[in-house]
Chains A and B, each alone.
Chain A
């Protein structure tokens, strides 16, 4: 089994899985019908993408594992998503701030992944990028609306960006699997995306009349499986049915 490729795919897919789960939590709880539907539609896109990745990972694993096992039956430390995507829906500004900070990265990442020497990954990226462009438009639009909105919305948006900022640097950390895959022309060198990312994010924040956080203190660990306390709670929701009724289907 190609262990590095397998780990690499899981690293990408876990980000979409956790973000999709967070957005899915808003089903029936969005601040308005339209935003509720938007967030859950984005969640659906992300889960669809996750399926493509996990189906491919299961094929590489070549054993009994299915896409569902990979999604549902790992332990907390075996999930390699970045800390940013597991952060809770504290309020709508956090939900949108988290989405925006991830979407800008996600879009840039997929643009590069399209060039992957691995044809399946390249095809998945090519498919996802069209969907993620819509996500990025949606979240950017809302950051602008809230930032350049009322005093209250602006304060909330700024607070969310300030708090979530600490999780952005991790997006550009390379894992061992990353390095191996970059060498083979399969993976994306995320370190090269960093400069453009902070420029794009900063430009949009300034356009939204928000301040770009100056903090240089960043959290990391998700890519190594060391998560914030939030992931355990998220997983207990995500995995509940499979843990309680193993192999259940409907």
Chain B
């Protein structure tokens, strides 16, 4: 087995066990290939920055990749699996994709680079759990508009264009935008 890189990005694992479970093994030589695969709903975001690849190792010349869904019903997962297979094939690897449910995906696994990609694309990145609750339930204005940067924004709908997002509108520049909900 080649060198592995820990891509556990969560700085606030709730327990030592949680940290252990969340850790993933990614063969470094596969990273450039996997980084080119993006989320079909958010093309600017690589699946690596999304945190859905939980491990990728080479065993007997076959790449074994474990991915975890963001939401149970996320229709992007089948596509992501196919895209990974295709990308690896192009790089000369046969692969097996496994969908794992545990540990459950959390928005904490989106990397800082991933958060920036979301914002640049017009989707506000998730706030922490408490602030998230405040904006979704208590009408607080904390989400930063992806167009003008103002936090004078309000919730339009708890569910947006996909299950993982909520719909917001900026009351300064009037721009409507998606907010990626915190999932913990």
Contacts and interface: CB of A to CB of B under 8 A. Distances in A.
Interface of A: 34-35, 37-38, 41-42, 44-49, 51-52, 119-120, 122-124, 126-128, 130-131, 134, 137-138, 141
Contacts, number: 73
A42 B159 contact: yes
**Shortest Cβ-Cβ A-B pairs, 4 listed:** A48-B73, A48-B72, A34-B157, A123-B102
B48 to A, nearest CB: 21
Contact of A126 (B101, B161, B163, B167): B101
Contact of A52 (B72, B163, B184): B72
B162 interface: yes
Nearest to B161: A37
A46 B156 contact: no
23 contacts: A35-B157, A37-B160, A37-B167, A38-B157, A42-B159, A44-B73, A45-B72, A46-B73, A47-B73, A48-B69, A49-B72, A52-B72, A119-B102, A122-B102, A123-B102, A126-B101, A126-B103, A127-B105, A128-B72, A130-B104, A131-B71, A134-B158, A134-B181
A131 B72 contact: yes
Contacts of B102: 119, 122-123, 126-127
Given A127-B104, A130-B183, A137-B136, A38 B74 contact: no
Q: Find the residue from B72, B74, B156 having the highest chain A CB count within 10 A.
A: B72
B137 A41 contact: no
B21 to A, nearest CB: 10
Interface residues of B, number: 27
A128 B163 CA distance: 13
A103 B136 CA distance: 18
A48 B136 CA distance: 23
Contacts of A126: 101-104
A52 B103 CA distance: 14
Interface string B87-125: 000000000000011111110000000000000000000
Given A34-B167, A130-B104, A137-B136, A51 B72 contact: yes
Q: Find the residue from B69, B71, B136 having the highest chain A CB count within 10 A.
A: B71
A124 B68 CA distance: 12
Contact of A49 (B73, B158, B162): B73
A34 B136 contact: no
A34 to B, nearest CB: 3
B100 to A, nearest CB: 8
Nearest to A47: B73
B71 to A, nearest CB: 6
A131 B102 CA distance: 15
Contact of A34 (B106, B156, B162): B156
B137 A137 contact: yes
